C-alpha cells in the first residue's frame, strides 16, 4: 500500500470533518496525532470540553478486526478504546480518548517495575482470548515466519543495506528459530505489545493497536514488551520480569522448565527483531519515513547479544555483529 498524496490527504480530512458533523459535532477542533508504523491516521477531536480520538483507516484496510478485538478484550476487563461511532465504508472510527501518556513517554526508573508488573499481569489475561466474535484470528504459522524472513532480506538486507544474498547457514539457523516458536503454546498474540501501544491510565493500562493480532507463540508479546525496540532496561530488570511472568504463566499452562522458557523467549526475540528491522527499513525505503532508522542500532544489539549465548545461532550472531559494527562506525 502506497502512502496517500498530500492533496488526497486534504480531501480525506474534509470527508472526516463532514462525517464528524453528521455524528453531531457542530463545533469541534481536530488535532493530528502521531501515528504508528502503518498508514492509519489519528486525530484528537475536542468539542464541548470533551475529547475523543478518530482513527482514519485508509482504503483497502478493514476496520472490523479492530472493532471485534476491542470488544472481545473489554469482555476480559482489559482497557481498550470504546468504539462510539463507526463508518466502515469510509474507514472512520470515533473512539474514547486515553490521553497522551504512553508507557514510552511515562516510564522512568522509579515507576518501571510497577508499570511492567501491571503490563505483565494484563498480558496473561490478554493471552486467554482465544475467540473473537465475528472475526477469525489468523494463526502465526511457520509459513508466515518464513515470509517475514524473506521480507527482511528484501527490505533490510537488500534495499536498505545493499548486501548480497545470505548463506545457507543463516537459513538453517533461522529454521531452528521458527521451530522453537511453532512448538510453544499458541495464544492470543497482540503482535505489538510494547511501550508505544500501552497507555498509563489511573490504576490500569490502556491497550492500543491490536488489530493485527494472531494466535501465536506465548513468548512473542513478552519479547515485544521486555526487549522493546524503542526503550531498553538493564539486564537484571529483564531477568526479574521474565521470572515474574513465568510464575504467573504457570497458572494457565503446563509450561517447560524455566531455562527452556528463557530459550523460547530469547529465540523469539531474534525472530521479532528481524521482523522489526524489515519494518524500519520499509518505512524508510518505501514511505520516506527516515525517523525509524534511529531504532536500528538498539534492535541489532538485541540480536547480537542474544545470539552470542547460543552456539546453535553462531552464523546469525557473526552476520549481524558485522552489520551492527558498521552501524556504530
Identify which of 193, 213, 216, 215 has the alpha carbon closest to the alpha carbon of residue 205.
193
The answer, yes or no, to whether residue 296 has pLDDT greater than 70, is: yes
Give pLDDT tens digits for 25-79. Answer: 888 999 998 766 567 889 999 988 899 999 998 777 889 999 999 999 999 999 9
Identify which of 74, 26, 73, 28 has the alpha carbon closest to the alpha carbon of residue 54.
28
Nearest-angstrom CA–CA distance, 39 and 84: 22
pLDDT value at residue 1: 41
Q: Quick one: cell of 159?
A: 534495499
Q: Quick one: cell of 85?
A: 461511532
CA dist 45 → 53, 80, 122, 197 (Å): 6, 18, 28, 20
Domain formed by 103-328, architecture:
Alpha-Beta Complex (3.90)
Q: Would you place residue 22 in the very low, low, confident or very high pLDDT band (cuts 50, 70, 90)?
A: very high
Mean pLDDT throughout 109-116?
96
Pair 17, 30: CB distance under 8 Å: yes
- Which of 145-159, 240-254, 300-314 is the least confident region? 240-254
SS (H, E, C) 164-224: CCCCHHHHHHHHHHHHHHHCCCEEEECCCCCCCCEEEECCEEEECCCCCCEEEECCHHHHH
Q: How large a percentage of the chain has pLDDT more than 90?
A: 82
Pair 181, 73: CB distance under 8 Å: no
Task: List all residues 6 or more positions away from 283 whose beta carbon is below 8 Å from its beta carbon.
Answer: 37, 289, 292
Nearest-angstrom CA–CA distance, 253 and 251: 6
Give pLDDT tens digits for 253-280. Answer: 766 899 999 999 999 999 999 999 999 9
- Which of 5-19, 159-173, 176-190, 198-212 is the least confident region? 5-19
Residue intervals of the chain classified under CATH 3.30.200.20 are 6-96
Residue intervals of the chain classified under CATH 3.90.1200.10 are 103-328
Identify which of 246, 247, 181, 256 has the alpha carbon closest to the alpha carbon of residue 215.
181
Mean pLDDT throughout 187-204?
96
Q: The whole model's pTM is what?
A: 0.93
pLDDT value at residue 38: 64
pLDDT value at residue 37: 53
CATH for the 6-96 domain, from 3.40.50.1980, 3.40.30.10, 3.40.50.300, 3.30.200.20: 3.30.200.20
Pair 132, 68: CB distance under 8 Å: yes
| Count of residues making up the chain | 329
The answer, yes or no, to whether residue 6 has pLDDT greater than 90, is: no
pLDDT value at residue 8: 73
Mean pLDDT throughout 125-145?
95
Amino acid at each position: 500500500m502506497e502512502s496517500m498524496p498530500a492533496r488526497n490527504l486534504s480531501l480525506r480530512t474534509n470527508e472526516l470533518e463532514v462525517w464528524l458533523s453528521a455524528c453531531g459535532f457542530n463545533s469541534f477542533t481536530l488535532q493530528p496525532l502521531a501515528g504508528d508504523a502503518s498508514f492509519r491516521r489519528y486525530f484528537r477531536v475536542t468539542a464541548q470540553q470533551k475529547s475523543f480520538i478518530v482513527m482514519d483507516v485508509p482504503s483497502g484496510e478493514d476496520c472490523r478486526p479492530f472493532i471485534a478485538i476491542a470488544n472481545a478484550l473489554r469482555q476480559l476487563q482489559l482497557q481498550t478504546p470504546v468504539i462510539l461511532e463507526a463508518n466502515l465504508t469510509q474507514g472512520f472510527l470515533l473512539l474514547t480518548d486515553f490521553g497522551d501518556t504512553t508507557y514510552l513517554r511515562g516510564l522512568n526508573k522509579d515507576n518501571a517495575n510497577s508499570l511492567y508488573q501491571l503490563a505483565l499481569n494484563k498480558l496473561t489475561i490478554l493471552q486467554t482470548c482465544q475467540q473473537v466474535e465475528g472475526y477469525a484470528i489468523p494463526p502465526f504459522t511457520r509459513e508466515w515466519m518464513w515470509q517475514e524472513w524473506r521480507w527482511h532480506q528484501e527490505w533490510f538486507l537488500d534495499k536498505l543495506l545493499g548486501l548480497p544474498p545470505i548463506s545457507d547457514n543463516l537459513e538453517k539457523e533461522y529454521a531452528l528459530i521458527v521451530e522453537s516458536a511453532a512448538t510453544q503454546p499458541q495464544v492470543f498474540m497482540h503482535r505489538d505489545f510494547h511501550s508505544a501501544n500501552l497507555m498509563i491510565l489511573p490504576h490500569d493500562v490502556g491497550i492500543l493497536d491490536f488489530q493485527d493480532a494472531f494466535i501465536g507463540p506465548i513468548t512473542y508479546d513478552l519479547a515485544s514488551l521486555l526487549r522493546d525496540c524503542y526503550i531498553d532496561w538493564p539486564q537484571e530488570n529483564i531477568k526479574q520480569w521474565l521470572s515474574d511472568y513465568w510464575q504467573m504463566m504457570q497458572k494457565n499452562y503446563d509450561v517447560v522448565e524455566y531455562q527452556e522458557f528463557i530459550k523460547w523467549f530469547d529465540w523469539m526475540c531474534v525472530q521479532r527483531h528481524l521482523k522489526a528491522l524489515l519494518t524500519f527499513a520499509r518505512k524508510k525505503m518505501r514511505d520516506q519515513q527516515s525517523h525509524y532508522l534511529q531504532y536500528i542500532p538498539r534492535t541489532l544489539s538485541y540480536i547480537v547479544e542474544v545470539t552470542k549465548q547460543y552456539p546453535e545461532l553462531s552464523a546469525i550472531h557473526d552476520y549481524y555483529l558485522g552489520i551492527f559494527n558498521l552501524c556504530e562506525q
